[in-house]
Amino acid sequence: MNRKLKNSELDRLDVNEFKTADKSPIIIVLDNIRSLNNIGSVFRSSDAFLVEKIYLCGITAQPPHNDIRKTALGSTETVDWEYHDNTLEVIQKLKSQNVKICSIEQAENATMLNDFKPQPNTTYALIFGNEVKGVSQDVVNASDLVIEIPQYGTKHSLNISVSAGVVIWDVFSKLKN
């Protein structure tokens, strides 16, 4: 029989331990995300996998906000974040720091997530776009790589918070191995 663990048994980091822990070489860029619940969910997934930083861009709301807090469950206090009006300016800044820019989008010549092989000693910025329009075309154009999540059903896309969880976990697990 498998007994469920209590929260007190999970051996999680506290806020100070999280702040000083070695982070994954993963940065998240949110390009015009409108749903505050999606923003909070991305913070929570980012906390789970020790993401280095989140950039909130364009119309993406910023903490503190009750609807972000509801899904983030305190992760806005652990994961470093910055707001910028212009996503392209963030991309240029990250490129100048040798960060590999990856839009998560359905596009011609995209690399399927299952085929993506992150390189050691490389930091990746994973860009997630608006719930309706996706990652803006100018951001896709400025990216080093476009990564697509393979999908086999009738729907055209996944919710952004689900996409972020899938991609962050996949890249994190590949980097750990």
pLDDT of res. 56: 98
Q: CA torsion 28→31→36→40, rounded to 10°?
A: 0
pTM: predicted TM-score of the whole model, two decimal places = 0.97
Q: Which helix (H) or strand (E) holds 19?
A: helix 15-20
Per-residue model confidence (pLDDT) at position 168: 98
C-alpha of 110 from chain center:
18
Predicted local confidence at residue 23, as pLDDT? 98
CA dist 151 and 24 (Å) reads 26
Residues in the chain, pLDDT under 50: none
Q: Where are the domains of the chain?
A: 20-176
The pLDDT of residue 102 is: 98
pLDDT, residue 177, reads: 86
pLDDT given for residue 95 in this prediction: 98
Provide the CATH number for the domain formed by 20-176 in this structure. 3.40.1280.10
